[in-house]
Amino acid sequence: MKSTFLTISQPARASYVIKKSKFIADIAPVSNAAASKGMLAQLTAATPKANHHCYAYRLVENPPAERFSDDGEPVGTAGKPLLEILHHHQLENTLIVVTRYFGGIKLGAGGLIRAYAQAANVAVAQTTLCEKTLARQLTISLDYPQLNKLRSFLDQQQLPILKTTYTEQVTITTAVPVAQVSTFQARVTERLTGQAQYQLGAECYLTSPPQP
């Protein structure tokens, strides 16, 4: 799995009109090809009178996956410009679909490329970028008197509390960037004077604002 990548935090929609042709761009976070195809099918079904539903997506996979389609537009005038927008913004696990209603005036190859790219860029500007960092879930078992110390430390490190279980001890599940797991455990052990047990869990991704 990729250690870090840039994506979007929420879907967005934007429109662009030129020479009576209307381009509606939908951008959305996706996790796999099935999710991309499912969203494309929903948008296509919701706009059956549109002339074209062109798309592009990039996925964090091994190897990385990317696909695009001109959906009947001249080759290279729609899907590829959308994919280039994703590359330009370094976005992965992201789908862009641009739905076009033809206005009766031909735009030419260059006009189409610019129109699809412009619609996609406006959609990117309408959403919020975020960074995903590969992490491991970590369950920490500790005695009740140590609970506030751990919560305070997690808050300082801006790490999430995914789950809390109360039994004879308290168990808290968090997620720690893979590269920091060993250091994190050592610092928690020091803070809690050795009174903690750890269990590593599955890999996941933490979400944070993009680095400046």
pTM over 0.85: yes
- CA-based Rg of the chain, rounded to a whole angstrom? 23
35-53 mean pLDDT: 95
Q: How far apart are CA 88 and CA 159, in angstroms?
A: 30
Q: What is the per-residue pLDDT across 64-103, written as a single tens digit (0 to 9) for each? A: 799 999 999 999 999 999 999 999 999 999 999 999 999 9
CA 121 to chain centre: 17
Tokens representing 24?
């509606």
Record the tokens describing residue 171, joined without a space: 């168990």
Q: Which two tokens stand for residue 120?
A: 């996609």
Q: pLDDT for 148-207, tens place per residue?
A: 999 999 999 999 999 999 999 999 999 999 999 999 999 999 999 888 999 999 999 999
Confidence of residue 212 (pLDDT cuts 50, 70, 90): low
Report the pLDDT value the prediction gives residue 1, as an integer from 0 to 100: 76
* Ramachandran angles phi, psi of 136, nearest 5°: -120, 135
Could you tell me the two tokens for 12? 């967005």
* Res 181: pLDDT: 96
Q: Identify the band that residue 211 occupies on the pLDDT scale cut at 50, 70 and 90.
A: low
Residues 5-36 have pLDDT tens digits of 999 999 999 999 999 999 999 999 999 999 99
Pairing state between β 4-8 and 21-29: unpaired
Q: Is the pLDDT of residue 112 over 70?
A: yes
**Other beta carbons less than 10 A from residue 29's beta carbon:** 19
**Tokens representing residue 80 in the block:** 């590829």
Residue 210 has pLDDT above 90, yes or no: no
Question: With helix as H, strand as E and coil as C, how does 122-187 read?
Answer: HHHHHCCEEEEEEEEEEEEEECHHHHHHHHHHHHHCCCCEEEEEECCCEEEEEEEEHHHHHHHHHH
Give the mean pLDDT of 33-43.
95
How many CB atoms are closer than 10 A to CB 142? 19
